[in-house]
Structure 1
Amino acid sequence: MTTRTEAPTLAEDLLLLLFQPNSGGRAGTGTIAGENTLFHTLAGAVLADLGLGDHVRTGAGRGGSTRVEAVADHPPADDILRSAWDYLLAKPRGVQTVLAAIGPTLRSPLLDRLVERGDIRREARTALGLFRTTVLGDGGNGRRARLLDDVRDVLVEGAERQPRVAALVGLLSGSGTLPQFHREIPWTAPVIARAKELEQGNWGAGAAAEAVTRTVTATIVNTVVAASVLPPRT
């Protein structure tokens, strides 16, 4: 099997964090948290990644909504990000529309990438000596633990909020999955308050050169969180 060497996307990092080792009822097997709203969360990560790379910009839509448009002549190299960028290049669209369009097909290719990187292990097993099933396990390369350390540093230690980690935490908080990390990240009042700040786009001060990117990405994260709990506009 070929090992992926390209830098992981934000959506890959998010899916890896949502993977819960040893949660599948048997030792060495895991499940993915937040499956019911996963397509919203992963699509939000794709949009946020496009924002971090200055591939999209946001603007005001009808009724106070947020619209996203592609920055022409600045496509991303990654094929998953490029597909979303191409969709937006046709015309600006509301965030909820984008989530519904790109989200449902993201889980499988992103999971394949994590397996190719060795972050997650996929293996076939036989249940009851009859039924073939596929289980997921920790890849053992330590990348999930490192990502979790970054999230913990921000939420527990109050570390500086770098845009990429801030986006990850905001999306995790908005997905409602952060309480499932209580063993690694104590679910305390200060942690909850910091998570809500990041969810709402309050990322703190940063380098002036990053101000526009930070604002665009924070707006996307905040809008994605709202879109995940609101009915779509018609």
Structure 2
Amino acid sequence: MPVAEAVPKVDGMIVAEDVLLLLTDDSTGRSVVDGTRRDIAVAGALVGELAATGRLAVARTTGLFARTELRVVDATPFGDDVLDDALQRAGARGGASPAAVLERVRKGRPRERVYERLVARGILRADHGRILGIFPTSAWPAVDSAHEAETRRGLHDVLVVGRTATPREAALVALLVGVDGLAKVLPGTGLSKRELNARAKRVAAQDVGGEAVRKAVEAMQAAVIAASTAATAAATSG
């Protein structure tokens, strides 16, 4: 499979749209995980898609302080404003650790534009208001849940039935388990959270779509887990 087709779009939607949709409660329009982890998942989806489409390459530096880096090796624009902004931010200061690249992308606040895109597609509705007339609040309840339901069924088939994951499904699974949101996205499976996460980690480790995709998923998952863990630690220490 060519690298550029490693994580194909579904109905023109990028992976970040799917992960944000899955992490947003249909009724309340609010995130099922805390806002920081939601934003990490969206940024992780973009980093993973950049790597899987050949814009970012996973490399291992040599020497005493050897480490894994992500480097922009193809700056060709996608013609997609969200992905193109992520690509520009990822390569702004040269190669860096996956965690550092993730943070560069997250600082662009792509979550806001992805929500706007889902509203434009007629999938979500934007509800903006103020608490006590002062503090702004936003919610994004579902209008059309058909695509999300199909995506959930696919993840259920992979994690519960045992079907081999597509590259896109493997990326989604890695992101969701990385921000500890998988059990919330797939309730009622009959599996414990521990078993569900264990299966998810095996799926993320599968060689789906070739070596380039596997490395991209691994690097993205490691960065998401590190950032999510740090965010949780910061919240609990406060």
- The bucket for the TM-score relative to the shorter chain is 0.7 to 0.9
**Alignment correspondent of 2:52:** 52
Deviations 1:74-106 (A, max 9, x none): 433322111222233341122222222221411
Q: Per the alignment, in what secondary structure is the counterpart of residue 178 of structure 2?
A: helix
**Alignment correspondent of 1:25:** none
- 1:192 has 2:197 as partner: yes
**Alignment correspondent of 1:154:** 158
**Alignment correspondent of 1:67:** 69
**Alignment correspondent of 2:31:** 32
- 1:136 has 2:140 as partner: yes
**Alignment correspondent of 2:101:** 98
Q: Per the alignment, in what secondary structure is the counterpart of residue 189 of structure 2?
A: coil
Matched residues in 1 for 2:227 and 2:66: separation?
Answer: 13
- Is the contact made by 2:160 and 2:189 (CA closer than 8 Å) also made in structure 1? yes
Deviations 1:120-172 (A, max 9, x none): 12235798999996543211241111111111111111111211100101110
Aligned residue pairs, count: 216
- Is the contact made by 1:121 and 1:139 (CA closer than 8 Å) also made in structure 2? yes
Matched residues in 2 for 1:164 and 1:49: separation?
Answer: 9
CA RMSD in angstroms comes to 2.9
Deviations 1:30-83 (A, max 9, x none): 311222322221111101111221211011258454211112354333221112
For 2:100, the aligned partner's letter is T
Mean CA deviation greater in 98-107 or 109-118: 98-107
TM-score norm. by structure 2 comes to: 0.78
- Is the contact made by 1:50 and 1:76 (CA closer than 8 Å) also made in structure 2? no
**Alignment correspondent of 1:117:** 121
**Alignment correspondent of 2:168:** 164
**Alignment correspondent of 2:222:** 222
When you count strand as a share of all residues, which structure comes out higher? Answer: 1
Matched residues in 1 for 2:17 and 2:162: separation?
Answer: 24
Q: 1:39 to 1:135 in 2, by over 3 A?
A: closer
Mean CA deviation greater in 63-72 or 141-150: 63-72
- Is the contact made by 1:95 and 1:227 (CA closer than 8 Å) also made in structure 2? no
Matched residues in 2 for 1:6 and 1:182: separation?
Answer: 22
- 1:17 has 2:6 as partner: no
Residue 227 of structure 1: how far off its partner (Å): 3.7
For 2:205, the aligned partner's letter is N
**Alignment correspondent of 2:82:** 80
Q: 1:163 to 1:103 in 2, by over 3 A?
A: same
Deviations 1:175-224 (A, max 9, x none): 011222353434435423211224xx4124x45xx332332333322333
Matched residues in 2 for 1:212 and 1:102: separation?
Answer: 21
Q: Per the alignment, in what secondary structure is the counterpart of residue 59 of structure 1?
A: strand
Matched residues in 2 for 1:86 and 1:121: separation?
Answer: 29
Q: What is the identity percentage for the equivalent residue pairs of Structure 1 and Structure 2?
A: 27
Mind listing any 5+ residue stretches in structure 2 that lack a counterpart?
Answer: 1-9, 232-238
- Is the contact made by 1:167 and 1:218 (CA closer than 8 Å) also made in structure 2? no
TM-score norm. by structure 1 comes to: 0.79
Q: 1:212 to 1:132 in 2, by over 3 A?
A: closer
- 1:180 has 2:167 as partner: no
- Is the contact made by 2:58 and 2:69 (CA closer than 8 Å) also made in structure 1? yes
Q: Per the alignment, in what secondary structure is the counterpart of residue 161 of structure 2?
A: coil
- Is the contact made by 1:48 and 1:217 (CA closer than 8 Å) also made in structure 2? yes
